[in-house]
């Protein structure tokens, strides 16, 4: 029995579809020119030009690259940690143009043209207590050391960067204001008491400096 035309058309269509690679069906055909094609998102690589801890960097990365992965995987600045990847823990906190951001919520491409400071950038650039020697500690880091504000240390870089912002906004916070200011940063070890003590000690030190 001969199939009606519409069935033979469907057969032709099916044959055509089967000849298209699966990734092209999902994301389309890549343009002929430009950087690497990312099949996950159907986009070209993007150029990121950012100054990180005072050093200019230029890199081609997939458009979906998060700032935290750019810092850790491309620049090897592994002091910035990934605790959740979902904007909850604060372990990835860095400063962008001086303002604390969770770098798992920022695309690397969004950092282009901006200045990023990570935990590695706090000492050795005039913010530390060793006169910019590179092996000094920032007053907040020193306060963590003196007040025993860390145990495993996983949350610590993010805590320090968040407290840096907190004290820039409010140089003389109360304990309640410190606790409120750190509600975007999670610590699974310390019970927070010594982190709060470190923040208050750092605040007192910075006010006297």
Burial per residue of 73-112, b for 16 or more beta-carbon CB atoms within 10 angstroms, e otherwise = ebbebebbbbbeeeeebbbbbbbbeeebbbbbebbbbebe
Residue 162 interacting with ligand FES (CB under 6 A): no
**Is residue 41 within 8 Å of residue 62, measured between CB atoms?**
yes
Contacts of 78 (CB under 8 A, 6+ apart): 72
Give the shortest CB-157-to-ligand FES separation in angstroms.
10
Rama region for 114: left / alpha / beta (φ>0; ψ in -120 to 50; rest): beta
**Of the candidates 89, 94, 161, 202, which one interacts with ligand FES according to CB under 6 A?**
89
Q: Is 154 in the site for ligand FES (CB under 6 A)?
A: yes
Binding status of residue 153 toward ligand FES by CB under 6 A:
yes
Which region, judged by CB under 6 A, interacts with ligand FES, from 26-34, 69-77, 125-133, 147-155? 147-155
Indicate whether 115 belongs to the interface with ligand FES (CB under 6 A).
Answer: no
d(CA 50, CA 36): 20
The yes or no reply on residue 128 touching ligand FES (CB under 6 A) is: no
Which one of 151, 177, 204, 205 is in contact with ligand FES (CB under 6 A)?
A: 151
The residue ranges that bind ligand FES (CB under 6 A) are: 82-85, 87-92, 102, 104, 150-156, 187-190
């Amino acid at each position: 029995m001969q199939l009606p035309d519409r069935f033979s058309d469907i057969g032709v269509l099916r044959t055509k579809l089967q000849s298209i690679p699966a990734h092209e069906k999902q994301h389309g055909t890549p343009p002929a020119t430009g950087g690497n094609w990312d099949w996950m998102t159907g986009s070209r690589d993007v150029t990121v030009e950012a100054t990180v801890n005072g050093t200019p960097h230029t890199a081609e990365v997939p458009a979906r690259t998060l700032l935290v992965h750019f810092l850790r995987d491309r620049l090897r600045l592994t002091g910035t940690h990934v605790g959740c990847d979902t904007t909850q823990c604060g372990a990835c906190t860095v400063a962008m143009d001086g303002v604390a951001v969770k770098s798992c919520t920022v695309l690397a491409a969004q950092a282009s043209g901006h200045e990023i400071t990570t935990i590695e950038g706090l000492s050795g650039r005039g913010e530390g207590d060793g006169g910019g020697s590179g092996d000094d500690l920032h007053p907040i880091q020193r306060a963590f050391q003196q007040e025993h504000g860390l145990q495993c240390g996983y949350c610590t870089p993010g805590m320090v960067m968040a407290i840096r912002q907190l004290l820039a906004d409010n140089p003389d916070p109360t304990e309640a204001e410190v606790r409120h200011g750190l509600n975007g940063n999670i610590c699974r070890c310390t019970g927070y008491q010594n982190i709060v003590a470190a923040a208050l000690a750092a605040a007192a030190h910075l006010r006297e400096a």
